[in-house]
Homo-oligomer: A and B are copies of this chain.
């Protein structure tokens, strides 16, 4: 049996484009002699469709698309994923379903049983879990078809009380197929391979796994579809961050063969390389799927905006990136020079708009109220917000989308100005700690100097008052980032982090700052997620709470 795996980029709610893409790949697979072509979880609707799923019309449109897809399934079968109505009287209104389509008809429906409802996942908000498990017979073989999380109930820490394959295995299947919508995090590929390999070896079955690619606002799907033999050995791995259609033969002895050159990785890509690829796709899809082309950002001469500018130029083309230099009276000469060097290195567009007269006008207007009170955070924020007004005015006049340049370290501790440098349509490096931003800069410079070395080596500064340094207000980033990772990614308490050897006063202050900044993060743009725990939809904190603040 020849099985094609279609690893594609879908667009939430764009039924026309998703359906056309699926049909196109069915035709291609048919031409190439495939018996079955497998698409990803919820490919018809795009994932995550979130509360669009609460609209009957949306579900009806999924059904219409499935009918169109079924109509072309002659002389080939396909597996597609879509939300469907739960026809049982009790339980939630929908199922997260896979259709097995053959001869123009839906021959079998498999509903997802294990519904992830942690981090960025909300599947139990919409779907009723399945409690019935049946293999699908096709061309003399029995297929155990499951959907993503269905294979993720690990032995060591079972999050669910059922395991669909434990039921399906009794029907003696010949092969497992799993369709997924599994988003990227820099450590997720290894975890995915380990868990799927464990399934293949535990059930002594070959396993074909299809993921999707593409970014849906903050979530980035990395592809990397996988094929395992029945010992759990990984025998093929599709490319990451790009579309692919690959063919496999399921032989009579349950072995799997293929004749394309494998893209199986000899060693895993470095985290920073993966993060770089993910962000490029994240920017590109955010613009493409929302129908915009041109990005704008403020370029300070510092490393964060330099890295974002370079990433945007790579994702959108330098000609589609407008860098605006917005010096204040506190900006150093080297900052302007570093920003100009970057613009020249990239070949992007740039403008210079000094803010001195604007901050002057604002301070003058507030003079009756401020009445010679000393310069403080109020005046610092006026500078940052004046820059935001100018950038947003250019967005409104020329149709740019503003890129946010905050990093995860400053987003954590609230070292940024709400409605100032925290503005933007999408946050590019908001899930990248400052120490990782340095790594990204060096990675971007791997072949030649793109980010000026001076932007990398000078001490970070917001330049909102004379001789300001980030370390005036914050611990050194190599300490700060480690504490933040323990608190945010690992959810350790201050007590536990202190026990690890970090300074007690610093730990308590960092965690307190992080919790106090919750109200700021609530109003920041969506953040491209590259870690297992990003700020945004995957981390839901009370704003008015007392714990640790």
Interface residues of A (CB under 8 A from B): 11-15, 17, 46, 48-52, 54-58, 61, 89-92, 117-118, 122, 124-125, 158-161, 216-217, 285-286, 289-290, 351, 353-355, 357-358, 360-362, 364-366, 368-370, 373, 376-379, 381-382, 385-386, 388-390, 392-394, 396-397, 418-419, 423, 425, 491, 493-496, 519, 522-526, 537, 539-549
Contacts and interface: CB of A to CB of B under 8 A. Distances in A.
A263 to B, nearest CB: 28
A150 to B, nearest CB: 15
8 contacts: A14-B546, A55-B493, A57-B494, A117-B125, A217-B542, A286-B544, A358-B365, A385-B419
B545 A52 contact: yes
Contact of A362 (B49, B358, B548): B358
Given A91-B160, A117-B117, A357-B365, 16 more contacts: A11-B545, A12-B544, A13-B549, A50-B540, A50-B541, A55-B493, A90-B160, A91-B158, A351-B369, A358-B365, A362-B386, A370-B393, A381-B392, A381-B393, A425-B519, A522-B525
A122 B542 contact: no
- Please give the count of copies of this chain that the complex contains: 2
Contact of A397 (B56, B57, B373): B373
A393 B369 CA distance: 10
Contacts of A217: 542-544
A122 B544 contact: no
A495 to B, nearest CB: 7
Contacts of A90: 158-161
Contact of A389 (B12, B51, B354, B382): B382
Contact of A491 (B49, B54, B396, B537): B54
Contact of A125 (B118, B216, B370): B118
B361 A360 contact: yes
Contacts of A544: 11-12, 216-217, 285-286, 289-290
A385 to B, nearest CB: 5
Contacts of A386: 362, 389
Contact of A526 (B50, B216, B495, B543): B543
B364 A357 contact: yes
Contacts of A379: 393
Which of A51, A58, A496 has the most chain B CB atoms closer than 10 A to its own CB? A51
A396 B377 contact: yes
A25 to B, nearest CB: 19
A366 B353 contact: yes
Nearest to A395: B378
A508 to B, nearest CB: 13
B161 A91 contact: yes
Contact of A545 (B13, B89, B373): B13
Contacts of A393: 362, 366, 370, 378-379, 381-382
B52 A541 contact: yes
Contacts of A122: 117, 122, 125, 540
Given A52-B547, A355-B365, A388 B542 contact: no
A188 B354 CA distance: 54
A358 B379 CA distance: 15
Contacts of A49: 542, 545, 547
